[in-house]
């Protein structure tokens, strides 16, 4: 297969990514020239110890942290060539992101939180928002504020919010980290089901090696580099 044919199947391309942080006078490089190519519809799990660079890589792929060097191409668009407004609009339309700590707006109900991406894009997503809440088992909690929900319920609202625009790419940072084993399994079934049904590309950061085995590919991040990758099964 030629290079052009291979590129045609890629929805995420990251080339030579470098990212560092400064602590006092010391600069600590978190990403060391990472190269990462992910196929359309692929489910990829990123594993590794704390501080290895997993979340930094996810933020950089999603346009939330600009790399000091390198490029990220999402669905045919060079993400960091866009100006701030165009990049924000692109992320809203093309990328769903599930944060580890929910990041729900406390003054909004569950339904209103799920409606936020549609409102930003100028779209009436009322029906889609209700459907998303139903899919995560919270249709009966739509009118509750985050403070009235358990941690697991808040996480599921955050997942519904990430899914509501039907993005082609979904990033998830420890999406089951605050859930018990039963809810964790249910949420992962939801995410993997979405990827299978709609061809959504799913990239998940997790410490759970058991969950990582359920994807198409598991990548090990160590000291800011991808040190090992294994194909779990062929992408569906």
Do 201 and 195 touch, CB atoms closer than 8 A?
Answer: yes
**Domain assignment present for 156:** yes
**Domain assignment present for 168:** yes
**Worst-scoring range by mean pLDDT, 58-67, 116-125, 140-149, 179-188?**
179-188
62 — pLDDT class (breaks 50, 70, 90):
very high
**Domain assignment present for 189:** yes
Q: Smallest Cα–Cα separation from 16: which of 4, 3, 26, 29? A: 29
Residue 196 sits in a domain whose CATH number is 3.40.50.300
**Domain assignment present for 95:** yes
> Which two tokens mark 63?
């346009």
Q: Is the pTM of this model over 0.85?
A: yes
All residues at 6 or more sequence positions from 198 whose CB lies less than 8 Å from its CB, including other chains: 166
pLDDT digits (tens, 9 = 90+) for 130-154: 998 998 889 999 999 999 998 888 8
Do 198 and 132 touch, CB atoms closer than 8 A?
Answer: no
**Domain assignment present for 236:** no
Q: Work out how many domains the chain is built from and give that number.
A: 1
**Domain assignment present for 153:** yes
**Domain assignment present for 53:** yes
Within the chain, where are the H helices?
Answer: 3-8, 54-61, 84-94, 110-120, 126-135, 151-163, 181-198, 209-212
**Structural domain containing residue 209:** 3-231
| DSSP label at residue 174 | S
């Amino acid at each position: 297969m030629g290079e052009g044919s291979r590129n045609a199947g890629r929805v995420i391309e990251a080339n030579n990514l470098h990212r560092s942080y400064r602590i006092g006078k010391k600069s600590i490089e978190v990403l060391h020239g990472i190269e990462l190519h992910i196929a359309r519809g692929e489910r990829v799990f990123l594993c590794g110890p704390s501080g290895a660079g997993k979340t930094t890589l996810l933020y950089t792929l999603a346009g939330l942290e600009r790399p000091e060097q390198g490029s990220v191409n999402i669905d045919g668009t060079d993400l960091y060539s866009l100006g701030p407004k165009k990049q924000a609009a692109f992320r809203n339309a093309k990328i769903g992101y599930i944060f580890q700590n929910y990041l729900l707006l406390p003054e909004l109900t569950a339904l209103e939180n799920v409606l936020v991406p549609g409102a930003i894009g100028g779209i009436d997503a009322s029906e889609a928002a209700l459907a998303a809440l139903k899919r995560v088992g919270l249709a009966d909690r739509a009118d509750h504020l985050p403070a009235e929900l358990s941690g697991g319920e808040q996480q599921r609202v955050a997942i519904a919010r990430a899914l509501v625009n039907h993005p082609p790419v979904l990033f998830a940072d420890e999406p089951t980290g605050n859930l018990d084993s039963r809810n964790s399994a249910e949420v992962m079934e939801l995410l993997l089901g979405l990827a299978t049904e709609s061809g959504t590309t799913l990239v998940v950061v997790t410490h759970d090696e058991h969950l990582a085995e359920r994807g198409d590919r598991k990548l090990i991040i160590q000291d800011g580099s991808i040190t090992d990758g294994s194909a779990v099964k062929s992408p569906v």
